[in-house]
Amino acid sequence: MSIAVFVDGQEGTTGLKLNDYLCKFPDIELLKIDPAKRKDPAARSLLLNEADIAFLCLPDDAARQSVSLVTNPKTKIINSSTAFRTDPSWVYGLPELKGQRDRIRSAARVSVPGCHATGFILSIRPLVEAGLLPPDYPIACHSVSGYSGAGKSKIEMYENEDLAAEKKLNVPRHYALLHNHKHLPEMRVFSGLAHEPEFTPIIARYAQGSAVVVPLAARYLNQTASAQQVHETLAAYYEGEPFVRVMPFESDAALDDGYFKITELNNTNRLELFVYGDNSHIKIVSRFDNLGKGAAGAAVQNMNLMLGYDEQRGLV
């Protein structure tokens, strides 16, 4: 028996990547919309309600509209926009958090985490749960990501040599400096922190791959934990996880003459966590593909759980 799947927003970056993943599933029937009708509510409604699983790869307002069009109680929805990530009636699609995998399996509405939020939450949540990191710690982080996560218009801008030269896009650019990044609410809620982090995202002129860095001062942690203790806590929390791996402490394998290699996990659904530091200074670095574990790969991982498939199916 085939599973009917509709990707609402199939022409966007995440939608196209999803299509690549889903084509590997012989028992999935991909429902396609006429490109000329992709913004037509009636045409979208027909396919949304025909689908067993509907992926929403849309801006927030369009995603809300799509949800309002679904009247078939059997249609399960996986949303990749920010719209419902902190909505308590939706399940947050980060299976590696304790207890979350079972919630996803029984859910009809799942929100895929944001790419920056994925790296941040997986770095921080275990430390809060273990009591090492106080919930009111004044935490900061920065994230470097390829331009593919910025959407179709930005991709076209970065890949146009003349426009890139005119706008001086050859250097990394900080953004959301007014503390208005759309991932901030979920970063607070699902990390277990009392306050939003001081977050600085950076976009650079390469296609894909992310590194989220969280510095910690050991003297402000509970129990004055060392970098080694932080590493041991993360390693214990993610032991046995198929897609999240805590790398050996202060691993030189990720460095190229001292420089961190961001793009090693491109085109995978994997995320690696590194811990560097000593008894005073600690840095946690998460590395992943912003289009994989940070978007489309995570969406497929959630779909597998919701359908009762092997969680790794189509992703390894």
Is it the case that residue 17 has pLDDT exceeding 90? yes
By mean pLDDT, which of 47-61, 73-87, 191-205, 242-256 is the weakest?
242-256
209 in a structural domain: yes
Q: How confident is residue 49, by pLDDT bands cut at 50, 70 and 90?
A: very high
Asked whether residue 207 falls in the same domain as residue 268, the answer is yes
Tally of domains within the chain: 2
Q: How confident is the model over 102-142, as pLDDT tens digits?
A: 999 999 999 999 999 999 999 999 999 999 999 999 999 99
Asked whether residue 257 falls in the same domain as residue 299, the answer is no
Asked whether residue 186 falls in the same domain as residue 77, the answer is no
Query: Cβ neighbours of residue 9 under 8 Å, at least 6 residues apart?
Result: 15, 38, 55, 56, 57, 58, 62, 80
The neighbouring-strand residues paired with 91 are 110
pLDDT at 161: 92
Q: What is the mean pLDDT of residues 61-82?
A: 97
Q: What is the mean pLDDT of residues 241-249?
A: 97
Task: Give the active site residues.
Answer: 115
**pTM across the whole model:** 0.95
Asked whether residue 176 falls in the same domain as residue 271, the answer is yes
- For residues 152 and 12, the answer to whether their CB atoms sit within 8 Å is yes
Asked whether residue 146 falls in the same domain as residue 261, the answer is yes
Average pLDDT taken over every residue of the chain: 95
Full residue range of the structural domain in which residue 206 is found: 115-290
pLDDT at 69: 97
Burial of 305 (0-12, 13-18, 19+ CB in 10 A): buried
Asked whether residue 146 falls in the same domain as residue 264, the answer is yes
Query: Cβ neighbours of residue 118 under 8 Å, at least 6 residues apart?
Result: 94, 271, 286, 288, 293, 294, 298
221 in a structural domain: yes
Q: What is the mean pLDDT of residues 57-64?
A: 96
108 in a structural domain: yes
Is it the case that residue 225 has pLDDT exceeding 90? no
pLDDT at 30: 95
Is it the case that residue 70 has pLDDT exceeding 90? yes
Q: Where would I find the H helices in 148-222?
A: 152-159, 161-166, 184-191
Asked whether residue 127 falls in the same domain as residue 109, the answer is no
Asked whether residue 53 falls in the same domain as residue 98, the answer is yes
User: Residue 76 belongs to a domain with what CATH number?
Assistant: 3.40.50.720
pLDDT at 210: 98
User: Residue 187 belongs to a domain with what CATH number?
Assistant: 3.30.360.10
Residue 125 is given by DSSP the state: H
Burial of 240 (0-12, 13-18, 19+ CB in 10 A): exposed
What gap in Å lies between CA 270 and CA 265, rounded to an integer? 7
